[in-house]
Amino acid sequence: GALCLYEKPGVNGAKVVIPVSILKDGTIKRIQNLGTHKDDVIVASFPKAGTTWVQEIVYLLQTNLDFSKASEKVLETRSPFLEYPYPGLDFVEKMNGPRVLKTHLPFDFLPATSGNGKIIYVTRNPKDVAVSYYHFAKMFTPLSFAGSFYEFLEKFEKNELPYGPFFDHVESYVRHKEDANLLIVTYEELSKDPADVIKKIATFLGKHLDEEDILKIVNHTSFESMTKNAAVNYEHWDDLGFRNKSEAKFMRKGKIGDWRNFIAPDRNETFDQWIADGNKIKFPFVYEI
């Protein structure tokens, strides 16, 4: 489609569907050449895997639980999206203090010196990702997807959506799972036991928190809290014209297994086959609570 290109940048043979808007100004090259800091944390993910949730958790950990700072500005400014024009790479380069950066790029596109700093990859089962991505693509005005869910699912399977192919994305990170500076978490484990995953992230970042602090983060980052929190729920997009207001909100449902409401059993069989063929590394995705 007009929004995407199939790009082959030649970095370890990695391929990805990248929105044209990102390619045209050389953003990818700038990201790969970005100077990194020891206390940088890059939150990386395929779109709709739980990025925002993990960003807010990491932001709180990196600011030693500065809840007031966390409510002062929208997450987009506190934790910049590397390949997005706002707030932009000039802003990222000037940030001081621990930087919590967001990207949807596969591993091989990250700053070349990313060994300097840490990476947290968040992933989610592809059925819920497809459902969440569909609602996002209808809601987000620059995408304004107008087709049916099954039309969208077909694009997902054909690797025609921004940041696809899904399994190449997952694989690009899982290939590095033994790297000391990479932690992989899943949306499903975070949903089932947020305290446990938050502790795991804290340990990875070298933070030692007591149970009370962990609980504060769990409460602040619950779906219910984040839905109501204007600093993380993207409601400022309404005023910027980025949301088709008749569509779902950014904080849509926050559940494991919502795909059952969109994928009928016969279509699920063919999607299962597609997953079985694509998930060559047999990543243990969880589809139900």
User: Which range, of 73-81, 239-247, 250-258, 276-284, touches ligand A3P by CB under 6 A?
Assistant: 250-258
**Within 10 A of 283 (CB to CB), how many other CB atoms are there?**
17
Residue 101 makes contact with ligand A3P by CB under 6 A: no
- Which 228-247 positions form the footprint of ligand A3P (CB under 6 A)? none
- Closest approach of ligand A3P to the CB of residue 109, in Å: 17
The C-alpha atoms of residue 129 and residue 11 are separated, in whole angstroms, by 26
- Closest approach of ligand A3P to the CB of residue 234, in Å: 9
CA angle 121, 126, 127 (to 5 degrees): 145
Q: Which of 45, 62, 79, 172 binds ligand A3P (CB under 6 A)?
A: 45
- Which 128-167 positions form the footprint of ligand A3P (CB under 6 A)? 128, 132, 135
Q: Which of 27, 28, 48, 163 binds ligand A3P (CB under 6 A)?
A: 48
Q: Which of the residues are catalytic?
A: 104
**Within 10 A of 96 (CB to CB), how many other CB atoms are there?**
6
Residue 258 makes contact with ligand A3P by CB under 6 A: yes
The C-alpha atoms of residue 286 and residue 226 are separated, in whole angstroms, by 23
Contact of 130 with 151, CB cutoff 8 Å: no
Written as six digits, the tokens of 59 are 């932001």
Do the strands 4-7 and 16-19 form a parallel or antiparallel pair, or are they unpaired? antiparallel
Residue 143: which of 25, 247, 27 has the closest Cα?
247
User: Which range, of 42-50, 152-160, 211-219, 273-281, touches ligand A3P by CB under 6 A?
Assistant: 42-50
Q: Which of 3, 253, 279, 286 binds ligand A3P (CB under 6 A)?
A: 253
Question: Which one-letter amino acid corresponds to residue 74?
Answer: V
User: Which range, of 7-15, 17-25, 69-77, 253-261, touches ligand A3P by CB under 6 A?
Assistant: 253-261
Residue 258: which of 150, 143, 153, 130 has the closest Cα?
130
- Closest approach of ligand A3P to the CB of residue 124, in Å: 8
- Which 203-222 positions form the footprint of ligand A3P (CB under 6 A)? 221-222
Residue 172 makes contact with ligand A3P by CB under 6 A: no
- Closest approach of ligand A3P to the CB of residue 253, in Å: 4
Nearest CB to ligand A3P, comparing residues 50 and 111:
50
Contact of 55 with 81, CB cutoff 8 Å: no
The C-alpha atoms of residue 104 and residue 143 are separated, in whole angstroms, by 16
| Strands (E) located in 70-200 | 100-103, 118-123, 182-186
Binding stretches for ligand A3P (CB under 6 A): 45, 47-53, 128, 132, 135, 221-223, 226, 251-254, 258
